[in-house]
Structure 1
């Protein structure tokens, strides 16, 4: 009996020792469990919201082409373009963090960075540039029956100036003031965008409209197909503008750009700039900049406004907007910057 009890106790003790040994090696069993999933943030793509302009404008198509290219060539990002109210709205969205990348004329970008004009009290001092793009010319379209042959003669006429506070409205204000017209008091201002203005020009219900867009612009083509013409902006007015606003350049719209346009048109233009938030990672902006320029020929085939762009021109005429470190790294890498 005693021997049996001893055997039972020995067996129990052996079992306890074996369990203890296995417990001591329990780390091996835990390691064999299914691995924990990586945090979602580690695999999520960086979202790029890219506002552009109205769906009928050239900028909308440009933004769509750029974001489609990024989605195909930069695995770490998910980019989406969207319609917007245009440059000023785009800058506000980037400033407020609602968007990460967008496009506007360099003058508006300068005003946003410095908190002037439409951005008074709402400066975004950390705004950064990715690239200067194409020149965006001012195009003054009038009906033949209006009798308008120069900017000074818009005084007292029905003229479409877009919505108050918009980029186009600001262009009207600076140009008409330089032409000696009190704006908007001394014209019969129509606050409509150029899509609607083109229809009104065709119908003859307004005398003229201000259109700022890359050439050829569909709204201008529509108007010039129906008893309308473009008006020159004189060198004197352009010179006055350049003395006060360094972002203006002289621009020529070649003859034949539009239907029934037999002569070249003298006008002013401002460079479009692609900009971004300052807190986008350097490597992300580097990749966005690099792939944009490496596919510029392809982009130019789909969007005429991007055709023929060169990286060497991307850092010029951008109203002193500082480059994002990621973009700067790329331009140094290819020798555009030292």
Structure 2
């Protein structure tokens, strides 16, 4: 699996480098669409602009995201399309992946350069704990904290489940073994007094399959961690399922051991047949990169992202309303890249 994944990314690297070389030759011939000297590109959000000055060697950014059916895939595509369009020397593209833990692995192995994961997984990767024990990547750096990613616990009405403790003995989808979502199941069910996974009948299946199985009643519940509204949750709630509340006691217990958790409310009406607000736990998503990306490139990535955040928010609901001021908070004390730090200092956030 790992060798296959590596082969795919190496092929993408070769293609991207070939594209960058072709673009460079085209620019030298005077027929390129990007100016390799000094350029100013107008953004489509409130008159903001992204400007690159001087010359810079071509940079290829591979950006793994998550499954193609998830919200993170679309978010990554929007960001890389922006960078690819607005920064003259950057060739950026997003790819589907298995999500946060794989994203961190790919970046740490230099098979990708930028990605997104929850802050908890980033902390574990930086420090070599949990899934990354013995495989610390101590040069991981942050570009920006993004939005909070909520845990969404969906159960069937007929299951009789009204709390996390009630999942004991039930058929429950916990996502892929070893994934960040399974880690959320472990943390929360343990906080609820269960022994994980022994006390439940764990089904290791993805969100899409879980939504289908919830709809036909072959499982009792599923853990879905995704920006709301999530398609899998909408499908399940359209089929007679419901969202569980995660109460203050569970969240407080989690915060004692894992300071990155925060309470979050999913407002009534977010999903079909959801008539009440739902309280759950959430972790901030973090856009991170390799520490060896040069300062000027990461400065341009950060600057271009924030100068176009209104446009990005119009196309991707999860990016709507983000601010640079909040981008440096609730990120588990992860270190900023010097290029991002330069930008935040320049605009007065730091």
Q: Same fold by TM (over 0.5)?
A: yes
Gaps spanning 5+ residues in structure 2: where? 1-27, 29-54
Runs of 4+ in 1 over 4 A off after TM superposition: none
Q: Secondary structure at the match of 1:130?
A: strand
Q: Secondary structure at the match of 1:48?
A: strand
1:242 aligns with 2:258: no
Which residue, 326, 331, 334 being the options, matches 1:313? 326
1:256 aligns with 2:269: yes
1:113 aligns with 2:117: no
1:122 aligns with 2:109: no
Aligned equivalents of 1:136 and 1:302: distance in 2? 18
User: 1:89 is matched with which residue?
Assistant: 102
Per-residue Cα deviation, 1:228-252 (whole angstroms, up to 9, x for no partner):
0000011000000000000000000
Number of aligned residues: 298
Aligned equivalents of 1:183 and 1:189: distance in 2? 9
User: 1:202 is matched with which residue?
Assistant: 215
Q: Give how far 1:126 is off.
A: 1.0
Q: Give how far 1:292 is off.
A: 0.1
Q: Give how far 1:120 is off.
A: 0.4
User: 1:300 is matched with which residue?
Assistant: 313
Q: Give how far 1:143 is off.
A: 0.4
1:172 aligns with 2:182: no
Q: Give how far 1:43 is off.
A: 7.5
Structure index of larger Rg = 1
Aligned equivalents of 1:68 and 1:85: distance in 2? 21
Q: Secondary structure at the match of 2:336?
A: coil
Relative to structure 1, the CA distance from residue 43 to residue 272 in structure 2 (aligned partners, 3 Å threshold; closer, same or farther) is closer
User: 2:206 is matched with which residue?
Assistant: 193
Alignment of 1:1-338 (within 5 A): 45-337=58-350
Gaps spanning 5+ residues in structure 1: where? 1-36
Q: Secondary structure at the match of 1:320?
A: coil
* RMSD (Å) for aligned C-alpha atoms: 1.2
Per-residue Cα deviation, 1:72-118 (whole angstroms, up to 9, x for no partner):
11111000100001000000000010000000000000000000000
